[in-house]
Amino acid sequence: MLKQKENEEQDVKEEENGETEPEPGGDTAEEPPEDGREPGGGGEEVRTGSSASVKVVLVPEGHVMTVAFAIGLSIQELKRHLASELRVPADLLQISLDGRVVEEHRSLMELGVRPHSSTQMEMSSTDPSVHPLRPLRVLEQESMPDVITVQVEADEGVLQQVVVEIERPCQQKAFLGGYRHRLTGLEYHHAAVQTLPKRRADRGVAVFSRDTQTVELKSQAQQCPVDASTQMTGIGCYVSCMNDKLVSPGKYTTADEYHDRRLRAVIRLQTYARRWLAQQAVDHLRKEKTRRIAWLEMQERRRNEEREEQLRGRRQRWLNPQRLEDLNLLYQALEKWRNEEEQRISLSLRGAERKAALCTLLDQEMDFIAAIGRHRIAIHNDNYDKAVRNFLDKSASPHHRRVADGRLIEIDTQDTIRARELRDLYNNISLITVSQEQRLHFLMTLKHTVKEQECQLTRDIVDLVDREVDLMTRGVKTASLEGLRKRICTLLLQYIKTPAFNPEVAKLLKVPQNPSQLKNDMLLCQYCHRYLRSTDFVMSMSGSLHRQCHCCARLNNIARLRNDFSFYKNILMRLRGDEQRLNTEAKIPFLLQVQDMQYLVEAVWSSRSALSASSDLYNLVFVRWDRQKDWSPWNCILLSKEETSAHLEVEDIHKTYETTFIREIERKHAQARRHFSQMPVMTKYLDSQPAATPGNQLVSKPITMAIVNHASDTTQTSDH
């Protein structure tokens, strides 16, 4: 303690002599700088080693900040240093060099900055409206540089360039002594002013101990040391009672009564508080109930709208079929009407009258079939025009490429430009309502276009064009030229589909131009006895090709079966969409065909919901039986749309459903497994058969299943 007091007295003396003349031989004095600047305004921090001077231009204000930074540090460290000075989050700063944004993990050395050199960068804010970049220094300090370069004499008299960064503190440092120049009047501080403050010596006392953070309480009784007394009337002493007050004692409250009153008050407060909490809970339950009811109503309304949309679409397909698949609805309705009429005739008539009624029914059925056939021809003509235009648009579309930055660009080649010209020419030739001058212009353009190649097809086109021009000049009516114009359009389309004249259509033709490619891809249809490509035949999951082409299968369905597969197609498409959302790598639903879905619905699940036995095919969907496993024919269940959401929330099916119901579902899964195990493509997806528990073995005896067609009954039910 004595030594510490001596040191403090010596420091006080040095402070008192601070403005006097410097002591001789003082080691702490600092020579005045050569450039004449006062060093007392701020401290200088000299960074030795591999450092450089970095000038940062603040965009868009144009202010310049200069810092000395080690070239081995990254741009992210530079951002943090500048963010602390500008009071802006570091993640909003963006540093650019020569107009390009610099990555944060790169260092100044990687950017080509050399030691003891300088570089200039631009810095901007990604959110200038909230966090603009403005320097926080006062204007009078802007004239002084942030970084200076000085020469320091190293060992052996070698001069070394050192980058010195000048720090400008926000507060004035305390004067700790120095001296004043007699001639110039400048004041110079001791070296202690230019360095960081000394760390306080450890006193050996724990300032963060428990005793420092707590308070000790003491309870001690005190007795007044001064005696006190009162004066009252007595013999020889009179005390006036004019100013006396009569004080009567109140009701005495015991401790038990006081605590009982406090307890009743606490209970009363808790009663009101619990009542308020109960009201809040009831209001929350009421809101949840209202929200739940609104959600259920919305779901019910959505399901009804979806069902009405399906019925409206089916009715629209009945009234105005636009595709060949829509004609199956007409044939199915015709078959249903014929069966009902035949049953009515068989029950009401006998003998010759029955035969006459059946002949009349046959004539009516033939008339209906002929009407449907005429409508089919009209649909084919409309679809043919649409298919031709789609074909021409595909051939004339530019190529799409995705570049490195993710943008999708369009590329036009000579082939695409040629295909676009031929497409526009075909559209002009196929126009009907044009004037005679425009028609002649289009025909001349066609003639000059096809004249570039010499072959029999081009000669035929030129002859037909000359013939139409000659007839038009003679004043022939437009109705008489309709057949000739159709022939010109047909030959022009054949010209466009020739790869020698239009190379872009080679990739769109179904029949390859090289005959060697058709050698192993041609099959014979056993019904129409035509050689067709394998893609024109009905493909099954078993991998084998039925010797029946699509045309023969469609004709067989129209003549005999008259089935409509739209129900099963909708169920399959919904199943694929649901599994695609749950698992992007799902494969089994995309391997199934419409016929396989028909077998699952009719033969395995009997076209009914497993829970409610609902037979409305509009409202039936397939979901997973065990939601932890992928969907498969042996891990599925057929339910209505209302039952689907409840089933998908089941965690353990063995705890939710009864044993009898589970065994029935497992029996259907075994039937589906036995059917699809015969298909090679499904073999690798078959998991191991679970071992049967005692008393619960299934008989592995082949069962012959008969496919029952419930489509007509379901349609009848849904229509009513």
For 460-469, what is each residue's pLDDT tens digit? Answer: 999 999 999 9
Residues of the chain with pLDDT > 70, as a percent, come to: 78
Q: Identify the residue with better confidence: 407 or 689.
A: 407
306: left (phi over 0), alpha (psi -120 to 50) or beta: alpha
Confidence bin at 172 (pLDDT 50/70/90) = low
Confidence bin at 694 (pLDDT 50/70/90) = very low
Q: Identify the residue with better confidence: 256 or 164.
A: 256
Range 281-289 average pLDDT: 96
Range 132-139 average pLDDT: 64
Q: Indicate the burial class of 676 (C-beta count within 10 angstroms; 0-12, 13-18, 19 or more).
A: buried
Confidence bin at 516 (pLDDT 50/70/90) = low
SS3 541: coil
What average pLDDT does the chain have? Answer: 78
Residue 108 confidence (pLDDT) above 90 = no
Sign of CA dihedral 169, 173, 177, 178: positive
Confidence bin at 518 (pLDDT 50/70/90) = low
Instruction: Return d(Cα 176, Cα 195) in angstroms, integer.
Output: 12
Over the range 178-188, which residues count as b (16 or more CB within 10 Å of their CB) and which as e?
A: bbeeeeeeeeb
Measuring CA to CA, which residue among 441, 426, 418, 445 is closest to residue 485?
426
Q: Identify the residue with better confidence: 274 or 523.
A: 274
Radius of gyration of the chain (CA): 50
pLDDT for the residue 145: 55
CA 391 to chain centre: 34
Confidence bin at 519 (pLDDT 50/70/90) = low
Range 167-172 average pLDDT: 58
Q: Identify the residue with better confidence: 19 or 488.
A: 488
pLDDT for the residue 359: 93
270-275 long-range contacts (CB < 8 A, ≥24 apart) are none
Comparing 207-221, 287-301, 332-346, 433-447, the range with the smallest average pLDDT is 207-221
pLDDT for the residue 69: 78
Q: Identify the residue with better confidence: 191 or 349.
A: 349
Confidence bin at 332 (pLDDT 50/70/90) = confident
Confidence bin at 45 (pLDDT 50/70/90) = very low
Please give the structure tokens belonging to residue 578. 């649901």
Residues of the chain with pLDDT > 90, as a percent, come to: 20
Residue 486 confidence (pLDDT) above 80 = yes
| pTM for the whole structure | 0.49
Please give the structure tokens belonging to residue 335. 């078959």
CB-based contact 92:189 (threshold 8 Å):
no
Range 325-352 average pLDDT: 89
